Structure 1
Amino acid sequence: MLDFKKILLPVDMSDFSLQVAEEAVNFAEKVGAQEIIILSVVNVVNYSQSYINAIDFDQMNSTIQRHFSKELDKLTESLKGKKIPVRSLILEGNPYAEIVDYAEKNDVDLIIIGSHGYTGIDRFLLGSVAERVVRKAKCPVLTVRMKG
């Protein structure tokens, strides 16, 4: 029998990932999960100041962090009426690597992640965080493909 007590739900705060969040919570309730951790990973590219003097990366990073934090708080609050405790956090770095690392270090039983289902050149150009998570994670990964 599957025992998914701690579920990790990575989101990028897109409308797509918010739809996936709702589906993930419904799934978690059905399997009797005890906790959902919503994880958002901020990926701010750090360029050398010798290349770009006009951009204050610390300020840009701070602004992005505040935006994600506010949106994540709204999402977490909207899910608090559900039967399962929900908490959230923001990490900084490469999204797939941070997701996989967090899951491993925190004994996550299942990762639920959205996938746009890109193929061919779209997948090559856009990359796929979900695909990399599926390949690298040591726990089961459930990918959700939403129509949209």
Structure 2
Amino acid sequence: MKKKILVPLDGSELSEIVFPWVRFLVEKIYAEHKVTLLRTFELPSMVYLLPEVSVPTSSFYNQDRLGQVVMEYLEAKKEELAPLPVSCRLAIGEAADEIVQRAEKYPLVVMASHGRGGLGKWLLGSVATKVVRAVTTPVLIVGAESQSKDAPALNRIVVAVDGSEVSQRAFEKACEWGRPYGAEIFLYRAVSQVELSHQLMLEDNIKTASKAEKELHDLAEQETELKVECTVKETYGEAGILDFVEEKKADLLVMGSHGKSGFQRFLLGSETEKVLQHAHCPVLVVH
């Protein structure tokens, strides 16, 4: 696997909000890693290639000229990231497909949840979600909500778990990222209420919550360096993670790409999009 971080861009300022996090990660966690900037585009959509660059319409059907325009854009972004070691790549094709095809060669993908608006294609629920679902590489999604923070930090990390193997890997990755900064880890487990009679539901919830708490504390005991806090909450839906992230003023949310039963639907369905869109911090998805 290459010692490089893959950073997909779509030519918009929104897709570039990841740059502070790229610099931050290369300082310690991914030290000695290079950065690969990847710009993808589809030939039929060339009139929307780079709105900020003026190119005659006739030139949009000249592939060489298009490649030159894109490389000029990437080289300019490379200069912005200096002195980080950066290489530039361009690919013709559907954005998500091209990113997924290359992602397996990298230990980490860092990308924005949103990209070009209007008629562009890099929108939440499209490229970012497709990439998260398809790759096995960890993906750090940086949303527009994260842009308001002064600078990236890893002092407080929330990890959403459900007792699955992928949750275990998410916890391990959170600790790996948090150790260089002495981060506090907040384990969060949502317990869904089952549709039974009130008495049975109460008994079932007590058993489920008790089991969840034990699993959470067993997981926490695996980490000997960092402070780990455990929280189990009963909820009708897992979107409560957003409130928990805000409550803890988290710098990062870490979650698995899939999990057990209903939790899998959360991570791969509409709730995922809500989390990626509305989380007040970047989201690291582990597979």
SS at match of 1:92: strand
Over 3 Å counting, the alpha-carbon distance change for 1:95 and 1:114 in structure 2 is farther
Q: Paired residues, what number?
A: 131
Match of 2:158 in 1: 8
Identity score, percent:
31
SS at match of 1:96: coil
Distance (Å, rounded) in 2 between the aligned partners of 1:78 and 1:129: 29
- Residue pair 2:191, 2:209 contacting (<8 A) in 1 also: yes
CA RMSD of aligned residues (A): 2.5
SS at match of 1:108: coil
Over 3 Å counting, the alpha-carbon distance change for 1:70 and 1:40 in structure 2 is same
Normalised TM-score (structure 2): 0.41
- Residue pair 1:115, 1:130 contacting (<8 A) in 2 also: no
How far apart are 1:65 and its partner, in Å? 0.6
SS at match of 1:10: strand
How far apart are 1:100 and its partner, in Å? 0.4
Normalised TM-score (structure 1): 0.76
Distance (Å, rounded) in 2 between the aligned partners of 1:90 and 1:41: 6
How far apart are 1:46 and its partner, in Å? 3.8
Larger radius of gyration: 2
Unaligned stretches of 5+ residues in structure 1: 117-121
SS at match of 2:158: strand
Flag as ranges the 4+ runs of structure 1 deviating above 2 A: 126-132
| Equivalent residue runs for 1:29-108 within 5 Å | 29-30=179-180, 32-47=181-196, 49=197, 56-79=200-223, 81=224, 83-108=225-250
SS at match of 1:78: coil
Match of 1:18 in 2: 168
How far apart are 1:12 and its partner, in Å? 0.5
The code of the aligned residue for 1:40 comes to: R
Tell me the alpha carbon deviations over residues 66-108 of structure 1, each in whole angstroms, 9 at most, x when there is no partner.
11011111111112x1x22111111111453211001112211
- Residue pair 2:166, 2:286 contacting (<8 A) in 1 also: no
